[in-house]
Amino acid sequence: MSEWEAAGKSDDWYTPAWIFSGLGCRFDLDVAAPNDGPRHVPCSRWLSSDGLAADWSGFVWMNPPFGPRNGIKPWLDKFFRHGNGIALMPDRTSAPWFQEAAWKASAILFVSPKVKFERPDGTVGKSPGSGTALMSAGMRARSVLFRAAELGLVVVPNVGALQAQGVAA
């Protein structure tokens, strides 16, 4: 079990600034920001209460609550329906929700080294139990991940599905 998965602990963990420096882009909307807003996310707007139920628009950043097992799945379902943005998640490649999402992604960047997330008080957490993956939806997001390849390994999980959708592989 990872540090942020301990029972009764907060889901408020902030993505460190170096991730956004590596991505080198600006987002229109952070769909799962903590109540006090995004700490490092370069975005124009953010949703801090029930982002899952709200309408999304534009190029989105999503670092959803990881929560209990399969708690991330509804977020990923909405993310891929929206089809324009980058989602951060644990890289649990054997989990059914990860497998399902991977086939929908236009690219996946497996971040290296493991991301040590920040607590609300600004301190940095310990090394997590699993790595971090960034999944892209859409061509703009895919391009961002390829430009940010210094952050880790970028893969295109399903070239045939992308071609069937009219997306160049």
Q: Which residues pair with 85 in a beta bridge?
A: 60, 137
Residue 46: count other Cβ atoms within 10 Å of its Cβ: 17
- Segment 77-85 shows an average pLDDT of 97
CA distances from 28 to 44, 75, 76, 162, 163 (A): 5, 17, 18, 24, 27
Assign 137 to helix, strand or coil.
strand
- Segment 48-64 shows an average pLDDT of 93
Burial class from Cβ neighbours inside 10 Å (0-12, 13-18, 19+) for residue 73 reads middle
Domain boundaries, the chain: 3-164
CATH topology of domain 3-164: Rossmann fold (3.40.50)
> What pLDDT does residue 165 have?
54
Q: Considering the chain, what percentage of its residues have pLDDT values greater than 90?
A: 61
CA end-to-end span of the chain: 36
* Virtual torsion, Cα 104, 17, 54, 158, nearest 10 deg: 0
pLDDT reading at 69 higher than 60? yes
CA distances from 139 to 84, 88, 116 (A): 8, 17, 28
